[in-house]
Amino acid sequence: MIRVGIVGGTGYTGLELLRLLCGHPDVQLQVVTSRQEAGAAVADLFPSLRGCTDLRYLPPQRADLKGCDLVFFATPNGTAMTQVPDLLTAGVRVIDLAADFRLQDKKVWEQWYGQPHACPELLAEAVYGLPEVNRERICKAQLVANPGCYVTAVTLGFLPLIETGLVDLKRLIADAKSGVSGAGRGVASHTLFCEAGDNFHAYGVPGHRHGPEISQNLARLAGQAVELTFVPHLVPMLRGIHATLYAELKRKDADLQALYLRRYADEPFVDVMPPGSHPETRSVRGANVCRIAVHQPQGGRRIVVLAVIDNLVKGAAGQAVQNMNLMFGLPETRGLAAPALVP
């Protein structure tokens, strides 16, 4: 059994981790921490987990994280980097669901996250946790940086086009929408029901933290810099990411459907849909899967790729469990095979 700890088990991603790990046959939950809820029973705070765990939240300073085989950080940005070095020295493996280790350039990280990085020496050591790209490295990793939710959908949608050099790298557009849970569980006026309900708007147009992360991914795939326009939107739904991606083909005769089917043929959590499909966010709700459809309107040079994920599962906790499975030599789909929740 893998002895697991969760730091920050009261947010939406922490709750989703608890839900998935409580049903994982190879995991023993050892400890869950929370500063605000210390002493409370997990199942009292989240009745959905009644009968699944008898753990109580511990304050971080009392938690024996070094007694775990793996620790997940489901914490705000800037928290994991203060604790990870000691855990790695103790031989504990770590998956960070926040952004502390996603960007390899220290200056870029500090520019976008507005604070000094506590352990920049680990940025090069951290393995970026997108299994469809880094599977072999994840298997051997001590520290995994779980990708952002927008980033997962956009990267998987663009990936086959970028890898094969079929598109103009200066004309990439990602128009992406997220459900309100992507903003986290904290109270903010823009996520209140009366503000987010019956409403739809873009945000972060001048720049969003996931922008440099997406560009970093695509540049690695391309072997050169890319020019990306990324615009996120908030939509009045609980879960889900819908990314509409645009690119310009260098030639019009490529069989795009065959390209995507071939690239993702052996990927258990990427579903390339039939030609003409329009994937819906509800088709992935609660499931660790990315559904993709590729279109070439009027047979022209502009490609439209549609990619949907559940931001809390393939966009966060599910992908983290997928990475854990790889790190400990388990079947990649272990504990993640449940289909989506519909309706």
Give me the active site residues, please: 149
Q: Which two tokens stand for residue 6?
A: 């969760």
Q: Please give the distance of CA 75 from its chain centroid, rounded to a whole number.
A: 14
d(CA 275, CA 205): 31
Looking at the chain, list the stretches that DSSP marks H as alpha helix, in order from N- to C-terminal side: 12-22, 42-45, 84-89, 106-113, 131-140, 149-163, 193-196, 210-222, 256-263, 318-327
Output the CA–CA distances (angstroms, integers) from residue 183 to 106, 126, 178, 180, 187, in the order listed: 25, 25, 9, 6, 9
Q: Please give the distance of CA 44 from its chain centroid, rounded to a whole number.
A: 27
Inter-residue contact 287 to 316 (CB < 8 Å): no
| Angle formed by the axes of helices 131-140 and 318-327, nearest 10° | 40
Q: Which two tokens stand for residue 87?
A: 């855990």
Dihedral sign of CA atoms 307, 311, 312, 316 in order? positive
Give me the phi and psi of 262, to 5 degrees please.
-70, -45
Print the SS3 string covering 255-299: CHHHHHHHHCCCCCCEEECCCCCCCCHHHHCCCCCEEEEEECHHH
d(CA 11, CA 274): 36
Inter-residue contact 145 to 127 (CB < 8 Å): yes
Strands (E) located in 8-123? 27-33, 57-58, 70-73, 93-96
